[in-house]
Amino acid sequence: MFQFFKKNSLLKLLPEVKGKYLTNVSLSKHTWFGVGGPAEVMYIPHDSDDLSFFIQECPKNVPVFLIGGGSNLLVRDGGIPGVVIKLDSPAFKQVSVGTNEITCGAGLHNIELKKYLLNHQIGGLEFLCSIPGVIGGSVKTNAGCFGREVKDVIKSVQIMNGLGKIKKVGVADLELGYRSSCFPDDWIILSITFVTTPDTKENIEKKLNDQKAYRVAKQPYNQKTAGSTFKNPQGLRAWELIKKSGCDTLSVGGAKVSEKHCNFLINTGNATAKDIETLGEIIINTVRQKTYITLEWEIKRVGIDK
């Protein structure tokens, strides 16, 4: 298990960069659940060259973890040792519109895509705007909703590998599956090119509004949640299994199952990461006992216990 370095000793090991190093950053402020311990060091690269230099020069014994928008993430209460990278500078939020395609920086928030779709009358990507988080995370998990997945609209991605080298990867090599991809852990997505179709501003706006209305009506909205907690087993729905097993009213500490949609866990305001993870494990065990089906976490759990 990774351990934190002695106070301030980690910074002395890291290369001098153009970006920013921040120490002891509370990751509860960088995740939708609003829980979790600190990042020992958070690194915000200035641009891809700066990131490449860091990757090449960072000591190999220093653990490195990339965080996106924090929407599908549960950081444990002990935090994350080593360096947490966040692509939060303008260089990673650029957007370029071409003929029947759009290229977005990995740090662009999905909701920000909305203005480009409307201004340029670009259709086909409305579902992405309703998914919490950033574009890079949406691709790595092959996020989807409303009958569409990222794999249906992606053309290629630009990545940086574990050696700090940049290359372009086509959709055929990504092996995108249900909430999964073949991305190695040491790849960092820099930008994504999506295939688009022309559409009218009125049609795009209607789809965006309809999708938002559905989420407000059917799912917890403006609450501290990380979205769907468990993947749907093949041919089944996780929420139905949870409800059938009598887990739809469970709670642990400040964490509880959403009353609107029981595949969503909620931080009611004072939950710890341990509360949320414990609740999730209770649901997994209970559903297994009742149905002989083992639910699989869709939310990524990282960090160490306190």
Catalytic residues: 179, 228, 298
Residue type, 272: T
- Integer Cα distance of 53 and 189 in angstroms: 16
Residue in the structure block whose two tokens are 């993870």? 277
Phi and psi torsions of 241, nearest 5°: -65, -40
If DSSP codes are grouped into helix, strand and coil, which group holds residue 109?
Answer: strand
Which among 128, 136, 24 has a CA at the least distance from the CA of 70? Answer: 136
- Integer Cα distance of 230 and 277 in angstroms: 12
Counting other chains too, the contacts that 204-209 makes at CB distance below 8 Å and 24 or more residues apart are: 204/117, 204/118, 204/121, 204/122, 204/123, 204/126, 205/118, 207/123, 207/126, 208/114, 208/117, 208/126, 208/129, 208/130
